[in-house]
Amino acid sequence: MKLKKEINIVIIILLIIIIQNNSCIYPNAITENQVNVAVLISNPEDPFLDLIIEGLKKGEESKKNNMEFTFFDTKKNQSIEAEILDNILKNNFDLILGNLVDTKVDTIENFIFQIRQKNVPAILFNSEPSIITDEIRNYKKFVIVTTDPKEAGILQGKLIADQWNKNKSTMDKNKDNIMNYVMLQGAINNVGAIERTKYSISTINNLGIKTQELSKSINFWNQQLAKESVSSLFLKYGNKIEVIISNNDAMAIGAIEALQYYGYNKGDPTKVIPVFGIDGIPAAQELIKKGVMTGTVFENINDTVEALYKVGLNLVYNKSPLENTSYKFSNGETVITIPYQGVITS
């Protein structure tokens, strides 16, 4: 009996040693695995999205968290996007990061329905729907990482109002105390575009400045389309345009290219139309330094990239999306809002 007891003790000790040794070799085995991430990009020509891609690739190159990214260009086409998503779900990716072509509520609900069937975690970025429905909210492996378009619009409006008050003698060309502006809107039914537009103008008005919209041009966040639109609008309105307000920097840069074709914004102080954007991309910052562009609202791309990494890994490992982060949900348990850093102006 005594011998049997001693044998049992020896077996227990051996088991403990084996477990300890395995723990040393594989201290946290799940974190050692490669995490395969599919990234849907609606428009890689958008310089803001291009910076997101660049940030993710830099993290991948540094072996950050063993994440490996595969990028899919959906070519701004919802049918192509649907086909790509179907293939992604057949290939056992651990996580999907999505910048969708369409941000209508039913589109995003359908996206969630598909990924939920495969139990795949996902994060949408730069793709917030107008409302968060129960269908969206109830899938606990789904998060939206975005900025607040209302905040962007307010910051832009304050920036424009400040410039108007400082430089009214030159900006108010016809001396009628009314800001005559052209609005470059990113999309028609996109909540981000609508709110950036709405709050930019309402903020200017709330600060006691009267405004008159000469034209609103929808340019789908695209630099070339904005260039073509502003070229046409300049032929129609010419020097009557006192300010150009853009929902993003890409369209603002397109507007500047059009103005420069007509001899404006090239250094002559008598031939300037102030142009304002949102995003703070390096190309816009450079134009602001040169005095060619008047200002932008600055978002730190690295903040968004970092959130995609941290929240993405939490979802992959079945943790709370906010675990070991400083983020907070701004809309129920679904939306994480990355704050803007302020404004940049010449």
Q: Catalogue all structural domains in the chain, each as residue range(s) with its CATH number.
A: 29-147+301-341 (3.40.50.2300), 150-298 (3.40.50.2300)
Sign, CA torsion 231/257/215/208: negative
> Which one has a higher pLDDT value, 140 or 130?
140
Q: Is the pLDDT of residue 117 over 60?
A: yes
Q: Is the pLDDT of residue 133 over 50?
A: yes
Q: What is the pLDDT of residues 329-338, one digit of tens each?
A: 987 789 999 9
Q: Which residue, among 205, 270, 224, 218, has the nearest Cα to 246 in the 3D structure?
A: 218
**Axis crossing angle, helix 47-61 with helix 249-261, rounded to the nearest 10:** 130
List the structure tokens of 114.
């598909």
> Which one has a higher pLDDT value, 15 or 305?
305
* DSSP one-letter string for 59-80: HHHTTGGGEEEEEEE-TT-HHH
Q: Is the pLDDT of residue 195 over 50?
A: yes
Q: Which residue, among 339, 336, 299, 338, has the nearest Cα to 314 in the 3D structure?
A: 336
Average pLDDT for the chain? 90
Element (H, E) at 109: helix 105-117
Q: What confidence category does residue 310 fall into, taking pLDDT thresholds of 50, 70 and 90?
A: very high
Q: Is the pLDDT of residue 107 over 80?
A: yes
Q: What is the pLDDT of residue 32?
A: 53
Q: Do 242 and 181 contact (CB within 8 A), yes or no?
A: yes
Q: Do 239 and 173 contact (CB within 8 A), yes or no?
A: yes
Q: What is the pLDDT of residues 7-61, one digit of tens each?
A: 444 444 444 443 344 433 333 333 458 999 999 999 888 999 999 999 999 988 8
Q: How big is the chain by its Cα radius of gyration, in Å? A: 25
Q: Do 155 and 297 contact (CB within 8 A), yes or no?
A: yes
Output phi, psi for 330, to 5 deg.
Answer: -105, -5
List the structure tokens of 334.
């679904």
Q: Which residue, among 341, 343, 344, 332, has the nearest Cα to 128 in the 3D structure?
A: 332
Interval 176-192 mean pLDDT: 95
Q: Which residue, among 293, 276, 254, 278, has the nearest Cα to 193 in the 3D structure?
A: 278
Q: Do 285 and 344 contact (CB within 8 A), yes or no?
A: yes
Q: Is the pLDDT of residue 69 over 80?
A: yes
Q: What is the pLDDT of residue 94?
A: 97
Q: Is the pLDDT of residue 224 over 60?
A: yes
Using DSSP bridges, classify how beta strands 342-345 and 335-337 pair: parallel, antiparallel or unpaired.
unpaired
> Which one has a higher pLDDT value, 1 or 211?
211
Q: What single letter denotes the amino acid at residue 183?
A: M
Element (H, E) at 341: none
182 SS3 class: strand
Q: What is the pLDDT of residue 30?
A: 39
Q: Which residues contact 185 (CB under 8 A, 6 or more apart)?
A: 193, 194, 196, 197, 216, 217, 218, 219, 247
Q: What is the pLDDT of residue 14?
A: 43
Q: What confidence category does residue 3 fall into, taking pLDDT thresholds of 50, 70 and 90?
A: very low
Q: What is the pLDDT of residue 161?
A: 98
Q: What single letter denotes the amino acid at residue 119?
A: N
Percent of the chain whose predicted confidence (pLDDT) is above 90: 82
- Model confidence, pTM: 0.87
Element (H, E) at 48: helix 47-61
Q: Is the pLDDT of residue 276 over 70?
A: yes
